[in-house]
Chain A
Amino acid sequence: MKRKLLSMLLAVSLMAVMMAGCGKNDTSSGSGGTTQSPAGTTAAGTKEETAAAGETATAEGTQATDVASLTFGPYNWGVPKDIDYSQPYNKRFDGLEYTRISATGALDLPEGMSIDDNTETWLFESTTGLKTKTEWVAAAGSAFNNKANQSIASGEIPDLMNVGMTQYYALIKAGLIADLTDELVNGNHPTLQKLYGMSDNIALDTLEVDGRIYGIPRVNAQFDSSPLIWIRKDWLEKLNLEEPRTLADLETIALAFMENDPDGNGQKDTYGIPVLASFSAQKGGDGFLCDIFLNVGGAAPGIWQMQDDGTVIYGSLMEGAKDALTLLNGWYEKGIIPSDFATWGADELKETVGNGRAGIVFGPWWAAWSVLSSNVNLDTAAEWTAYMLPEHEGDPIRSAAGNPVSNVFVISNDFEDPSAFVYAYDMWCTTEKLPTDYENFVEVNNAYNPMPTSVSPKAYLIPIRTMLDKVVGSGEMSTMEEVKQACLEEAGVSLDWVVEGAFRAKNVYDAMEAGEDPRAVTVDDMDPVATYQQYLQWWAGPRALAEADPEAVMTVFQGTTDSMEMYNSFLSTYETEAYVKMIMGNTDGQSISDYFDAFVQSYLEQGGAAITAEVQEAIGK
């Protein structure tokens, strides 16, 4: 009987393992960090939500009101602010139906809303006149990409698609999407032209293929995921350490955090600076190292840079990388970087920080929702503060600004009037999108937005700077309206959602200035943890960015070339391995400098040279 039981047990568990393996549904394999979102903070991250929610509704999150009690038509909100769109396009597009696909598979909608019938689509229709019909929904990531690539390959695409650069090129090659050049360049689209002009039309240039533009680029705010240095302030105070002003200070702090038992448990179990083997300056993220390369030696790993002589170079191959690698190697030898960092993923990083075993970590300005979230939730004594990487030998601070184009809206050739979307997007980016009666307004996740808006490149810098100078500093402004107006004037487009976040965060800042416990503050109906996360996101992070005012480093070429498709999967692995080896000092007895030279040589020989030539040609167009 016992034997039978055991064999049954074995068989059952084997089966289950098989199941988990086959279905690819094991929960632990996700590479991205996951975060808790306390009720009532859904509005924190995404701008339309916050803008739409206004002050009062924000705190209540998505469960705020009963949708059934609202009347949403005839539409009476979303009238553009200062540009008269009443004629002729608003009328012309009224009720024009288009199809799209949506990557919202993993999200929930409030009761009573559906994918084609929710706050975002209502607002979009009321603003632009275009009526949304969704062909299918899948979860963002591989599920969505598989399905989207499938429909591109089979030649059947929806009217509106939101794609990345690779898909953009594939669609052009297949001749499936409409040419929008004339409309974008010569049409009357004041907001779009203003937005693109702010970064010298680099977004439009990026999309150019043989002189034509086939999509509407969406630009992001700069530095939207620059890796700031987040430091446990309570640990700094406990160990009587100064704020870091140089990289040497940072090293001192890291060593102190390792040696001097900042968590007070009597054991030497804390890390210095846990990082990930992620170097690309295309975009930052939790544990990314790109800003160290940008500032120490000036290499720009993972992106394309223009040299003084007019030739392009792949940033990972730049001579300056040696300096940063030597610095990181020094950190590694001293144990500041964990010995097994190359095997770490975002989850491990979050766990380490979450358990209070690290007091320094690289993370974006919204790290309160990613790498810091567990820690902020579990340890109510933890206080964090953000710094930009300190300047190195007097050079200006540089930071990864992100890609010029975050994604591209493309319109199917089959759609009757492709230019409608250019007008629609212009209106959409202009509009305040605030319903007249927004106290009863139920906001939904921004991912439901048919065409997420482009924002000002300086979106996160202007409001916080205004707050620091005019509200906290000189005191010449006090109300939210004044600040909103000032930011609108400076940025050219509305930054209201950022201002609202900053005003929420200011409560915590005021408490800190008054010497009170910042972890005890509550704003609206949020609990103290959520309030503190708001503070970190809207004040601590942006403040570090605004005070350092870094120089933006961007790629000069965002597309893909034929050789890239052929060699990149190999080359990117090769590059990461070489970098990791140099940081670990595992260089076959050579100096880092010699090893790096050999790496560059071999990288170019194995396809790097061909890619560089193609990029040079593409830029020289």
Chain B
Amino acid sequence: MKKKMTAGHVIIIAVLILLALICLYPMWYTLICSISDRVHVEAGNVWLLPKGINFASYRRILSDELYFSSFLVSVKRVAVGCTLNLLLMILTAYPLCLPQRKFPAARFIKWFFMANMLFSGGLIPSYVLMRQYGLFDSFWAMILPGAVPLWNIVLMVNFFRNIPYELNESVTIDGANPLQILFRIYVPLSKPSLACMFLFQFVGHWNSYFDGLMYINDRMKQPLQTYIYQLNVQIDYAIMSTEDIIALLQTSNKTLQAAKVFVALIPILCIYPFIQKYFTAGMTMGAVKG
């Protein structure tokens, strides 16, 4: 099928290529920084091609125990966190999608969830709460507070509502119990949206750094993004002592930071292409109500 190229097509393609370049450039820049000589990076000479190519930064990462341990924590966090999130999300969303007469309490529960989405206790109460629970320095401090993903549940309820309720009724007549209905009918039918939810949660868990910073004191247990967050040190002349500033200046290393950031990008880059086909499908499915 060969279509005629019109001026419109050319413009659209040009705009898309430009957008792609804009999106690709930060990654490219990170990559070339990571393999350039740091003196050139700091002098601002590196912007299109690497200068003074060397892989010293990557060699240093390979010998950095802390980087690897936090990488593993992140992987574990994503695996455990996403699984738990998806499970709890499905289990919560299903009853809420049923018609009012089947589950009268749904209305209250929805408002309860809504209130929790809008109002939170705030940073310090959460911090105190986590300490009282004894979750400090525990892997679960990063998993449990967000284990029930409220926002995604709202989306999921709408996904489930798109599935004709008649299906549910007919399977009930055939003798299926609610769990069977959920896992044999609803879940298989909403695979695309589940993939999308998985992606949301994957990105969320992979990127989150603040809980790791707040609740985890042992650096070997902190996730990768917490580690990376702390690479980028800001110098404040007003409050830091000269010795601190000099120490920071001597240790900060843009090249190494770029290399670490780039390695952290890889998992997402690997997973994304395989899931992205579900992405748009999942996003629009919930939007149209049946």
A: residues with CB less than 8 A from B are 6, 8-20, 22-37, 41-42, 44-47, 103, 105-108, 135-143, 146-147, 150, 153-154, 156, 164, 218, 220-221, 224-225, 278, 280, 282-285, 288, 346-348, 350-351, 354-355, 364, 366, 369-370, 373-375, 377-378, 406-407, 445-447, 452
Contacts and interface: CB of A to CB of B under 8 A. Distances in A.
B166 interface: no
A48 to B, nearest CB: 9
A24 B33 contact: no
Given A25-B231, A283-B238, 11 more contacts: A10-B19, A12-B276, A17-B26, A23-B207, A23-B229, A24-B209, A37-B251, A139-B231, A156-B131, A374-B39, A374-B42
A333 B252 CA distance: 37
A107 B201 CA distance: 32
Q: List the 5 closest pairs (A to B, CB-CB), nearest first.
A: A32-B235, A45-B246, A351-B44, A354-B43, A139-B230
B213 A143 contact: yes
29 contacts: A8-B276, A11-B273, A15-B269, A19-B207, A22-B207, A23-B225, A25-B232, A25-B264, A26-B26, A30-B234, A32-B234, A32-B245, A32-B249, A35-B249, A37-B250, A37-B251, A44-B246, A45-B250, A153-B127, A154-B131, A225-B245, A283-B237, A347-B44, A351-B42, A355-B44, A366-B246, A406-B241, A446-B247, A452-B243
Contact of A446 (B30, B123, B238, B243): B243
A10 B230 contact: no
Interface residues of B, number: 71
Given A14-B23, A369-B246, A27 B33 contact: yes
Contacts of B128: 154
A14 B40 CA distance: 28
A23 B257 CA distance: 13
A16 B243 contact: no
A19 B203 contact: yes
Nearest to B261: A25
Contacts of A30: 232-235, 252
Nearest to B270: A12
A445 B247 contact: yes
B135 to A, nearest CB: 14
Contacts of A19: 203, 206-207, 265, 268
Interface string B9-26: 000000010011001101
A370 B249 contact: yes
Given A33-B235, A354-B44, A26 B261 contact: yes
B61 to A, nearest CB: 12
Interface string B35-58: 000111011110000000000000
Given A106-B231, A280-B238, A138 B213 contact: yes
B42 A46 contact: no
B261 A27 contact: yes
B242 A225 contact: yes
B233 A106 contact: yes
- The interface centre, meaning the residue of B39, B218, B258 with most chain A CB atoms within 10 A of its CB, is B39
Given A37-B251, A156-B131, A25 B228 contact: yes
A375 B39 CA distance: 9
Nearest to B218: A136
B237 A284 contact: yes
A42 B210 CA distance: 31
Given A36-B38, A107-B251, A138-B213, A46 B246 contact: yes
Given A34-B252, A105-B219, A369-B246, A16 B203 contact: no
Contacts of B225: 23, 25
Given A19-B268, A30-B233, A35-B249, A47 B254 contact: no
Nearest to A101: B217
Contacts of B43: 350-351, 354-355, 374-375, 378
B1 to A, nearest CB: 12
A364 B127 CA distance: 40
